[in-house]
Chains A and B, each alone.
Chain A
Amino acid sequence: MAEDQDTARERFIEIISFHLGDQVYCVDIMAVREIRGWVPCTSMPHSPPHVLGVINLRGLVIPVIDVAVRIGLPPANPSERSAIIVIDQGEKLVGLLVEAVSDMITIKGSDLQPVPDVLPESQRALAKAIVALEEQMICFLDPEPLVGATLEELAA
């Protein structure tokens, strides 16, 4: 029963989907701390191209990463409708700049399909799975490598 329940729990995953260009991506809702509207970032010296800078989140300074640049797309053009998804990395909080937060979707585990094996490992680690829904395909991003590398770089 417990396993069933667990299975059942496993089976339903809540995700936050967002747009980058024409493509739709998503992250696990459990990794999200909060979502907030776009505010201009204070840029940091010698930061890599995908790090936009830092913002003040209720007294806490957190870095903001341009996800588009991070995953190899042209840089996002931030507007009023852009949003920053704050990811909770244990102790640290990192903001992800996305073009628009589109939806909060509950998907089944079975909807998740593995990423095809066409990329090197380091690259492939960014996309955890592909959510294949009837109307659209969503790339399920793993925030840990996205953010972790960044943090490492920052730390370095």
Chain B
Amino acid sequence: MKLSKFKIGAKFAVTFALLIGMFLAIAGTAFMSLRTIEEADGWNVHTYNVLGHSDTLIASVVNQETGVRGYLVSGDENFLEPYIAGKADFQKALKTLLEITSDNPAQQARLQKVGQLENDWRTEIAEREIALMKNPATVEQAREIEASGAGKGLMDALRAAHAEFDTAESSLLVSRTATKDNASAFAEWAIVLGSLFIVAIASVLGFVLTRHVGSAVSSLTEVMRKLAAGDNSVDVPFEGRGDEIGEMAQSVLVFKNAAIEKDRMEREADENRNLTEKERAEREAAKAAEAATLNEAIEALAGGLQQLSEGNLTARIDKPFTESLDRLRVDFNESVEKLAETLSEVKVNIDTIHANAGEMRTAVESLSSRTEQQAAALEETSASLEEITSTVKSSSERAQEATTKAAEAKSASDSSTKVVSDAVEAMGRIENASGEIAKIIGVIDEIAFQTNLLALNAGVEAARAGEAGKGFAVVAQEVRELAQRSASAAKEIKDLIGKSTDEVESGVELVKATGEALTKIAEQVTDISDHIASIATAAREQSTGLQEVNAAVGQMDQVTQQNAAMVEETTAVTHRLASDADGLTALVGRFTMAGGKASASRPAAANDENDAPVKSPAKSMMSKVKRAFSGNAAVAEEWEDF
């Protein structure tokens, strides 16, 4: 059956989809019918509306005719009112009708015809009659027109056209009613028959699904119950199906197979239990014989091991064991032999270690003394370094001071240069003043010369005056002497000024030379200053280098301290090594060997040497170093630590 290939969910989904689709078809049909009926109803209302307006139209025509006729009969113009009102109503109704029947060209044509006829009647009959009626002379003429029946003929044609319009509209109404009835009937049939069909299909599908799923589940449940009860012979149905039932059936089959396998295993276990009982008796007998041989071998081995534990390495087992156990004996013998060999080698090695320990002790002692020397050298180096450092520092300070002094000297020489130039200026001023003085002296000299001349003239006059001029001559002489004195004084002053001018000139030269010398000195001072600066730089660099050297010495110091510590440790280790070698000798001495008992006298002698309270060379070195560094507390502490 193909149905079993699909999942249960799919089956249900298909069923319900089928039912829902049918329901939707029925509902759609009914809905369409209802829509048709509604549409027909809408059109009926429209038709009734058209018919109403059509009645109004014909009524208005009648009113016009009545109004005209009343006027013709009475001649009273009041009778014309219905005509006027009817004319307006007709136009209005016609217009409305034309609008609402615009979808029907046949009806439009009919309406046009009605409108045309009304217009003809009104223009040809009614208007003419009314015009004639207004003139009393032509009243009779108007009534004749009316009586001729021309108006009636037009009116009849109009009524016929109107009747045709009404009939056409009414026939539309009838056809629509028929359509409405048809639709109503179709909807009813569709609903009844569709519902019945759905019920039938639903019942059939429900039955099929229930059988297909429900009965399969219950039959599987039955199979499982039987399996649980222990009946493994049952057949599992539906295992070929592709749906969930098939999967369930396969799982049940797995359970069944597991139960069958379990039964088989239980049976095999029972069979195995029965086999062992028979063999046991045979084995007991063989074991007893084996135990006897084994005991013998164990006894021999125990004896050998006993001897071995007492340190006798000469112990051997000579009597052979049974074939299977004889290997034990041979192995024991070989082991003891090897042990003896090894121990004798160990003994030789211990002797070597003793000798080496002695050499190490010597080496450590010399190392200790060298370390001591190194520490002393380091101390000296440190002291020298300190001195050098202080020297360098003081030289650096001196260089600094010298720089300051050089700067001072430079400024002094600069100011001296100014003094020199001032001096040169002053000399120049002195020269000028001397010039002035010389001029004045020239004037004085001139005056003295003139005075001299005057005095001479006076003397001449006095001489010529003879005796009377004697006294005057004396005065003239005096004046002349004065003039000569002042002349000679002026001459002296002139000479002096000349000399002083020369002196001033040479002074100026000297001062200039001094200025040049001072400039040279300033230049040299600058050079000196540069040299001093480079000296200071060198001193700084030296200082840096010394710091590095100091650091290096510090590191060397540390290394030396570490070396000392290591020497101490090495000494201790050497001692331990010696004592360990002694211990080893004693241990080896407990064994008896083929070459006789191992000698224990040698280590004892060695011990005697070491037992003497010899002062450790490292310790003595350290105490010396400590003394050497006693100035430095920190160093002392560090050494204490060692």
Contacts and interface: CB of A to CB of B under 8 A. Distances in A.
Contacts of B456: 16, 35, 101, 104
A18 to B, nearest CB: 10
A149 B453 CA distance: 28
A83 interface: yes
A78 to B, nearest CB: 14
Contacts of A83: 453
Interface stretch (B33-41, B457-465, B561-569): B457-465
B460 A37 contact: no
Nearest to B477: A104
Interface string B433-450: 000000000000010011
B122 interface: no
Given A30-B464, A104-B477, A104-B480, A37 B459 contact: no
Interface string B518-537: 00000000000000000000
Interface string A52-75: 000000000000000000000000
B452 interface: yes
B463 A30 contact: yes
Which of B446, B457, B463 has the most A CB atoms < 10 Å from its CB? B463
A36 B453 contact: yes
B43 to A, nearest CB: 170
B449 A35 contact: no
B477 A37 contact: no
A124 to B, nearest CB: 27
A14 B463 contact: yes
A83 B477 CA distance: 18
B463 A37 contact: no
Interface residues of B, number: 13
A29 interface: yes
Q: Determine the interface band of chain A, counting residues with CB < 8 A from chain B.
A: 10 to 19
A115 interface: no
Contacts of A112: none
Contacts of B453: 35-37, 83, 101
Overall SS of chain B's interface: helix
Contacts of A81: 449
Interface string A16-35: 10000000000001101111
A37 B450 contact: yes
Contacts of A35: 453, 456-457, 460
Nearest to B445: A81
B457 A37 contact: no
Overall SS of chain A's interface: strand
Given A104-B477, A104-B480, A32 B449 contact: no
Interface in B447-503: 449-450, 452-453, 456-457, 459-460, 463-464, 477, 480
Contacts of A104: 456, 459-460, 477, 480
Nearest to B450: A37
Contacts of B446: 80
Nearest to B484: A103
Contacts of A16: 456, 460
A81 B450 CA distance: 10
Contact of A34 (B460, B477, B480): B460
Interface in A72-98: 80-81, 83
B483 to A, nearest CB: 11
Contact of A29 (B450, B452, B463, B477): B463
A34 B457 contact: yes
Contacts of A37: 449-450, 453
Interface in A4-52: 14, 16, 29-30, 32-37
A32 B452 contact: no
Contacts of B460: 16, 29, 32-35, 104
Interface string B73-106: 0000000000000000000000000000000000
Which of A37, A80, A81, A104 has the most B CB atoms < 10 Å from its CB? A104
B471 to A, nearest CB: 15
A80 B443 CA distance: 12
A37 B463 CA distance: 20
B110 to A, nearest CB: 174
Nearest to B467: A9
A34 B459 CA distance: 9
Which of B449, B453, B456, B477 has the most A CB atoms < 10 Å from its CB? B456
10 contacts: A16-B456, A29-B463, A30-B463, A30-B464, A32-B460, A35-B456, A36-B453, A80-B449, A104-B459, A104-B460
| A-B interface, 4 closest residue pairs, ranked by CB to CB distance from nearest | A29-B463, A104-B459, A35-B456, A14-B463
Interface of A: 14, 16, 29-30, 32-37, 80-81, 83, 101, 104
Given A35-B453, A35-B460, A37-B450, 14 more contacts: A14-B463, A16-B460, A29-B459, A29-B463, A29-B464, A30-B463, A30-B464, A32-B460, A33-B460, A34-B457, A35-B457, A37-B453, A101-B453, A101-B456
